[in-house]
Amino acid sequence: SLFLSLSLCTQNSITFCFSQFMICLFVSFIRYSTNMSALCMNTIVSIQPKDSGGGGGETRETVVQRLADDMLKKLPPDFVPHEVKSRLHKMGHLAPMNIFLRQEIDRMQRVITLVRSTLVDLKLAIDGTIIMSENLRDALDNMYDARVPTAWLKISWASATLGFWFTELLEREVQFRSWCFDGRPNAFWMTGFFNPQGFLTAMRQEVTRAHKGWALDSAILSNEVTRMFKDDIKEPPPEGVYVHGLFLDGSGWDRKNCRLTEQLPKVLFAVLPVVHIFAINQTIDKDKDKLQFYHCPVYKKPHRTDLTFITTLQLKVMPSTAPEHWMLRGVALLCDNK
């Protein structure tokens, strides 16, 4: 009977492992097929003729000019420097989070200024009022192909298409303007920051200053995944920040038990609920059991490199699995899944 029980256990384990392997293989195949399709389409678009056609349809210049008009109508107004400065003084211009906000607004204003000037000059160049420079030609070609112009990418963020990029620009501007003129938000969209590492550092500085005797070097990041989503947040946490908009790549999420679970078939990304990120004193909280957590890396984009790495978050795991199980799966958190 003992031998039969061991045989059944072994058979069940093999069946479970095989099923999980097939799920991972299927998900990997979907991701591979998606990437190859995108690469193929980009290659086809890049080799299309760039000259204006002689048919009865719209020319490239007409299409881009209409797109430029639409983008200029939707482009948000500039941040007025003295208004921003006055508002930050009222909020406390020496507070770490407000210093970070000022830096982000300055970078956002650079992007808005460049986009507006490029679109205005591009319309003039299409009409023949000014010379079509190399940068304007690059903007014309990329906008027609629904890509982000090279000059914009140098001072902003990567994105799959021009539409996604411009939508993110509007969402980032809304977060910064609301934070500056309406007050600190209850939850932050970390994807919308140029420097998310600086955001977390500013939060650590804020918590350190609130505790007498703490040193910044001994304050480390900690977190807790809540059961709430963005719309459920009605007030900020007593300490630290709420962060939303993260996606799990390589696993699923058990919202009831707040822990990692196996990835569902045909689901590439799982939305993570709001995460409460705060700072703890490393010299005090030495006895925290870290074996039940998977230290999940967080990246800005699906392309995982040192340049897109932000930090690590502690995610609870199932009692039946070790953290190494999720490490071998390559589980990571993404700020953007496009």
**pLDDT tens-digit map of 221-259:** 999 999 999 999 999 999 999 999 999 999 999 999 999
Does 321 or 286 have the greater pLDDT score?
Answer: 321
* Phi, psi dihedral angles at 98 (to 5 degrees): -75, -35
pLDDT at 5 over 50: no
Residue closest to 76 by CA, chosen among 106, 123, 109, 98: 109
Across the chain, mean pLDDT equals 87
- Average pLDDT on 149-174 reads 95
Mean pLDDT to the nearest integer, 186-212 = 95
* Least confident stretch, 22-36, 54-68, 142-156: 22-36
The 3-state DSSP class for residue 274 equals coil
pLDDT of 23 above 70? no
pLDDT of residue 292: 83
State how far the Cα of 145 lies from the Cα of 142, in Å rounded to an integer.
5
Residue 7 confidence (pLDDT): 46
Of the given ranges (95-99, 172-176, 284-288), which has the lowest mean pLDDT?
284-288
Q: Name the residue among 329, 288, 284 with its Cα closest to residue 17.
A: 329
Q: Does 30 score more than 80 pLDDT?
A: no
Angle between helices 60-74 and 96-127 (to 10 degrees): 150
* 40 pLDDT higher than 60: yes
Please state which of the ranges 37-46, 137-146, 149-158 shows the lowest mean pLDDT.
37-46
pLDDT of residue 268: 87
Residue 27: pLDDT band by 50, 70, 90 thresholds?
Answer: low
- What residues have CB less than 8 Å from 14, skipping those under 6 apart? none
Which among 317, 270, 267 is positioned nearest to 296, based on CA atoms? 317
Written as one string, the DSSP assignment of 44-59 is: HHHTS--SPP-SSS--
Q: Which residue has the higher pLDDT, 174 or 38?
A: 174
Pick the more confident residue, 67 or 25: 67
Q: How distant, in Å, are the alpha carbons of 15, 74, 273, 326 from that of 252?
A: 20, 37, 12, 11
Q: pLDDT tens digit string along 54-101?
A: 555 688 999 999 999 999 999 999 999 999 999 999 999 899 999 999
| pLDDT of 24 higher than 90 | no
